[in-house]
Amino acid sequence: MTVWFLAFLAVAWIVVYLPSVWRARQNSPFPAVQGFKRRMRLISPRSRSGRWVVVPESRERLLAQAFLRAQDRRKRIFGGLVVVAAVTGIWAVLSGGRIVELNLIVDALAAFYLALIMDAKRKLLDLEQNVHALHPQPRSEPGYAAEPGYEYLEAGGR
């Protein structure tokens, strides 16, 4: 009887004590620092000096990645609409009835979505054509004045 009671106390102690130890260990700064070092090791480039240099990604690259993800998402949505239009079209030909109306609705949705994609692409192309640098790049000729009052000189010039 005493052995069972001691075993019960040991199990109760483990059930009460170990979770609190686990929480205390997770909340201490030491594991957080180790986790930070481990994550930095994963994303840092390998160098021979032993120092890590972690640089945030450039804004242009993040914008380009977001643009590509949006394009992929639009292609998937449009592809899904085309597949649904084809399936409902085949179903309408085989069954007839109200399915023809459903097919027309799906076809209209696909056409409307295609029009939205084309309009967005046209606006993007217009924006790319209309955007130009506010400050022109200096030419290689010394003394080239891009704007009145501004003068670009070569290195070592007066």
Task: Give the DSSP per-residue string, 17-67.
Answer: HHHHHHHHHHHSHHHHHHHHHHHHHHHSPP-SSS-----PPPHHHHHHHHH
Task: Based on the fold, state whether residues 124 and 95 are members of the same structural domain.
Answer: yes
148 vs 86: which has the higher pLDDT: 86
139 occurs within a structural domain: no
- The confidence band for 19, taking pLDDT boundaries of 50, 70 and 90, is confident
Do 31 and 90 reside in the same domain of the chain?
no
More confident residue, 7 or 45: 7
DSSP tag of 138 = P
pLDDT at 152 exceeding the cut of 70: no
The answer to whether position 15 is within a domain reads: yes
> Do both 80 and 120 map to the same domain?
yes
Q: Which residue has the higher pLDDT, 34 or 63?
A: 63
Q: pLDDT tens for residues 95-145?
A: 888 889 999 999 999 999 999 999 988 888 887 777 665 655 555 555 544
The total number of structural domains in the chain stands at 2
105 domain-assigned: yes
What does the pLDDT read at residue 106?
Answer: 92
Q: Is residue 157 part of a domain?
A: no
Q: Is residue 148 part of a domain?
A: no
pLDDT at res. 15: 78
Length of the chain: 158
| Mean pLDDT calculated for residue range 18-36 | 71
Task: Kindly state the DSSP code that residue 147 receives in the 8-state scheme.
Answer: S
Q: What is the pLDDT of residue 157?
A: 47
The model's pTM is: 0.47
Q: How confident is the prediction for the chain on average, in pLDDT?
A: 77
Domain membership of residue 147 (yes or no) is no
pLDDT at 27 > cutoff 80: no
- Work out the percent of the chain whose per-residue pLDDT is above 70: 70
Residue 9 lies in a domain: yes
Based on the fold, state whether residues 77 and 120 are members of the same structural domain: yes
Domain enclosing residue 101, as ranges? 59-129
